[in-house]
Amino acid sequence: MSFDVNIIRQDFPILAQTINDKPLIYLDNGATTQKPNAVIDAICHYYRHDNSNVHRGAHTLSDRATGYFEQARQTVKAFINAASTDEIIWTKGTTEGVNLVAFSWGLENLKAGDRVLVSQMEHHANIVPWQMVCQRTGAELVPIPVTEDGELDMDAFKALLDSRVKFVSMVQVSNALGTVNPVKEVIELAHQVGAKVLIDGAQAVAHWPIDVAELDCDFYAFSGHKLYGPTGIGVLYGKQALLDEMTPFMGGGEMIETVTFAKTTYNKLPYKFEPGTPNIAGAIGLGAAIDYVTALDRKAVAAHEHDVLQYALERAAGYEGFRLIGNAKNRAGVMSFVLDGAHPQDVGTLLDQQGVAVRTGNHCAMPIMDHFNVTGTVRASFALYNSREDVDGLFNALDKVKYFLF
């Protein structure tokens, strides 16, 4: 295995610090990943040497900035195996990508009697936009049930599929449970009834290669900051034929071809969905993050991440008072739990006092919390720079949490 976690950790400067006089153990990667030097350096280089707006300038700085900006789009295209850079739309993140599809495709194509299916384990960002659009179009938003193990109920999904279903929007990996959904099968089944499919890949792209051509999804959205890149930048992939037909989500500069008070004509793809000055540094940083990840042995990385997660689950299985929330057979990156008799927020605060960073609360996924009859959980989420030693540190800290609370 050509992977050494101790060498990898040296690429992430933020990890080499103490929190409350304890070595940092960062287990909040589901919220955002840390950034390697390569990403930090790429962003700093842009601001120090190339800062300019893109596409419009007739000077060297603008030419250089445009070149780096569009090269980042090429990098994303190759990373997810899109057919063309015209299919790569820059967004602020996954949330904006879902909203873009919901309002640009949904408002134009949904009508009363139509159905949109989402899973019960969705992030709010993949529920609320569809609720808003369904309220305006008369369509119905229908949740796909989840089993007691936190897996997608495929029998229930198949039973819901009929000619009324026009769209399926689903998370690839649950941010609250770590469940890996069988999205390729979901896409195939949805297409059989003529429905379009959007996959929320925010929690998936950092863990394994994504091939949108092989998946045959109609749309795929992800965020840069979950992939060791900067915040405020994301990607929406869409099949070119669909994007060509869609009306822009927002209006302004850059997304236009001509403007008169009588009529506006829109720019070509991908620019018709990118109004205003884009997050240039963010795109360049995301390109650098993808270059960093793809330079690694991704099979070795996946094996390492799987080992760390399995070790954590093994430690959890024998830990008194520890209740795992979600027990899917196929899972990635997340261990969500409660300690009997303890509020998750109290657990998180006491872990922080020992240098362990986790996420607590409902994780913007209230419906799945309701399903498991909890108001929130403690979520430990893992990345390529985490280790078995981090897991041991978590459980040693939990020992002290139990001492303080009980």
Among all residues, which ones are annotated catalytic?
364
CA–CA distance, 266 with 256 (Å, rounded to integer): 4
Say how many residues make up the chain.
406
Instruction: Please report where in the chains the tokens 């769209």 appear, as a residue.
Output: 167
Crossing angle for the helix pair 280-294 and 37-45, nearest 10 degrees?
150
Report in angstroms the alpha-carbon separations of 356 from 316, 342, 380, 394.
16, 17, 10, 7
Tokens of 286: 């995301």
Q: What is the DSSP string of 22-86?
A: EE-EE-BTTT-----HHHHHHHHHIIIII---SSS--SHHHHHHHHHHHHHHHHHHHHHT-S-GG
CA–CA distance, 396 with 391 (Å, rounded to integer): 9
Report in angstroms the alpha-carbon separations of 13 from 17, 40, 249, 286.
8, 10, 38, 18
Please measure the distance between the N-terminal and C-terminal CA atoms of the chain and give it in whole angstroms: 43
Tokens of 378: 């403690």
Residue 338, amino acid: V
